[in-house]
Structure 1
Amino acid sequence: MDHASENRAPEAKKSNVKEDRHFVTALARGLDVLSSFRSGEKLLGNQELAERTKLPKSTVSRLTYTLTKLGYLQYVDEVGKYRLGTASLALGSAMLSKLDIRQFARPYMQELADFSHSTVSMGMRDRLSMIYVENCRSQAALTLRLDVGARIPIALTAMGRAYLAETTSAERNEILERVREYDETKWPAIRDGVMRSLEEYKTIGCCTSFGDWQPDVNAIAVAFRPANGSSILSINCGGPVYTISREFLLDEVKPRLLELVDRLKRA
């Protein structure tokens, strides 16, 4: 599974939603097209969208035509590709504006980023990915370059594993089943990493990913459910292995990360 494909999840195709008479397949496919756009990518063509959604190109062409008419996509004639339209951007902005906890958390996240000379991020689950909804970097030159809107895989990253540890067993099992269906070959290694992280969460209070997602990235994370009962959020701290060691993360950063999350729980 390469970096581009590991964050995609054709869940609607492999779950039992087809058997649900209330499930609107066309709508799901349209949303799949929109979610194919990732942080840092501005333009995608029908062929690229077809590859990412695993849908026939003819189907994708009809979907992009409709989404363009509705303002969710904008066609760039010069290159024959699409960018997200204002309707899509408005939806994302509206969602972020409702996350008041971002404003509360930002100064504490920045303080931890400066202390650790790394990146501290807040994320929410979207299918088999975690999406960054807030991001703070230290002024150090070498940090991860992931911005708000970036997607990372749920089962390979500390942020995603913390979410899996915090959610219900029913939801966790459903997510992991979809991960298994998506990549049968790598599933045994993925499963072992997740199970190890779940045990870590019980014993040391955080989940880790030391080279599991990318070989040169170390990270730890803690998840929590805000006091207002909204969706589970995860906070991670990480960076390149040559600037932030696992020992430093566990010995120095973890107590501060746990204190940060405790503040947010009580916010």
Structure 2
Amino acid sequence: MPAPRVSHPATPRTKEDRHFVTALARGLDVLACFRSGDKVLGNQEIAQRCKLPKSTVSRLTYTLTRQGYLIHIEEIGKYRLGTATLSLGSTMLVRLDVRQIARPLMQELADFATAEVSLGTRDRFSMIYVENCRSSALLTLSLDVGSRIALATSAIGRAWLAAITEDERRPLLEQLRARDEQAWPEVQAGVDKALQDYRSLGVACSFGDWQKNVNAIARAFQPGGGLPPMVINCGGPSFTVSPEFLLGEVRPRLVEMVSRIEAALNR
């Protein structure tokens, strides 16, 4: 089944670009380094994640605190995300029409598969969930909106990679390789297999690659309206959803569901 034609935002600009504001980019990187499981981070932790000098991070966190994007907890000398970031995120999610259209269909599939069905899009080197539905019978694998999933080893990330063009994919994979040269051969083999699966099956797969005991399949689509490509993922614990069940029973339903979402968005 052919992959839908999608494109993604350009690779982040480098400092050689005269239009690129490095200080702004660094400030945004500081905010982005807070993950869904983080309550607070110190300047040292932020510096390590952003690969910036601690002195630079100190100035950035001070400025972001003054602007309400971070809250400084003086007792422990660390920071948490401020209400200004909540306002930005909430506004974005409310305006995502695709969430309203997809959610009932996602819940239906989650209940059928006794699994978790998620809607996500790429942010740097990971996929971030913007909607999530799970079967009431699912006892484990509880992720939520805002969760970040590895780009190259997860089904949702691999579907995104499979749906973009080779010219778009190549530089991103080079960046992923540079981040961990030692792990790259295994990661590349998984991505290559996912590209083949996407061409032949219409979905990308991750059977124990993202997490050892988690199986999932995913399909990408173009939501339109200037939004970046998005992906819907269906997965769960390997003892609940086997590869055979996902490919035989869930796959045709997932492909049909994505087609229905695209048709609704086009209307």
Both proteins in one fold, TM over 0.5: yes
Runs of 4+ in 1 over 4 A off after TM superposition: none
How do residues 79-90 of structure 1 correspond to structure 2 at under 5 angstroms? 79-90=76-87
Q: State how far apart, in whole Å, the 2-side matches of 1:239 and 1:26 are.
A: 40
* Structure 1 residue 100 corresponds to structure 2 residue 97: yes
How do residues 1-267 of structure 1 correspond to structure 2 at under 5 angstroms? 17-267=14-264
Letter in 2 for 1:42: K
Secondary structure of residue in 2 paired with 1:144: coil
Q: State how far apart, in whole Å, the 2-side matches of 1:218 and 1:266 are.
A: 28
Q: State how far apart, in whole Å, the 2-side matches of 1:172 and 1:85 are.
A: 34
Q: Against the structure 1 CA distance between its residues 118 and 143, is the aligned structure 2 distance closer, same or farther, given a 3 Å change threshold? A: farther
**Alpha-carbon RMSD:** 1.4
Secondary structure of residue in 2 paired with 1:17: coil
Task: Please say if residues 217 and 240 of structure 1, whose CA atoms lie closer than 8 Å, have aligned partners that are also in contact.
Answer: yes
Q: State how far apart, in whole Å, the 2-side matches of 1:63 and 1:230 are.
A: 29
- Deviation string 1:138-184 (CA, Å, 9 cap, x unpaired) is 00142311110011111111001101111122221121111011111
Q: State how far apart, in whole Å, the 1-side matches of 2:15 and 2:41 are.
A: 28
Letter in 2 for 1:208: C
Task: Please say if residues 142 and 243 of structure 1, whose CA atoms lie closer than 8 Å, have aligned partners that are also in contact.
Answer: no
- Tell me the CA shift for residue 227 of structure 1: 4.5
Task: Please say if residues 119 and 143 of structure 1, whose CA atoms lie closer than 8 Å, have aligned partners that are also in contact.
Answer: no
- Deviation string 1:172-220 (CA, Å, 9 cap, x unpaired) is 1121111011111111111111111011001011000011111111100
Give TM-score, length-normalised by structure 1: 0.92
Q: State how far apart, in whole Å, the 1-side matches of 2:213 and 2:16 are.
A: 42
Letter in 1 for 2:236: G
Q: State how far apart, in whole Å, the 1-side matches of 2:27 and 2:188 are.
A: 30
Structure 2 unaligned runs (5+)?
Answer: 1-10
Secondary structure of residue in 1 paired with 2:253: helix
- Deviation string 1:23-49 (CA, Å, 9 cap, x unpaired) is 111111111110011113221111111
Secondary structure of residue in 1 paired with 2:15: helix
Task: Please say if residues 115 and 138 of structure 2, whose CA atoms lie closer than 8 Å, have aligned partners that are also in contact.
Answer: no
Structure 1 unaligned runs (5+)?
Answer: 1-10
Q: State how far apart, in whole Å, the 1-side matches of 2:225 and 2:28 are.
A: 28
Q: State how far apart, in whole Å, the 1-side matches of 2:70 and 2:225 are.
A: 34
Letter in 2 for 1:108: L
- Tell me the CA shift for residue 135 of structure 1: 0.2
Q: What percent of counterpart residues are identical?
A: 63
Q: State how far apart, in whole Å, the 2-side matches of 1:250 and 1:19 are.
A: 46
Q: Against the structure 1 CA distance between its residues 198 and 141, is the aligned structure 2 distance closer, same or farther, given a 3 Å change threshold? A: closer
Q: State how far apart, in whole Å, the 2-side matches of 1:18 and 1:80 are.
A: 31
Q: State how far apart, in whole Å, the 2-side matches of 1:266 and 1:228 are.
A: 13
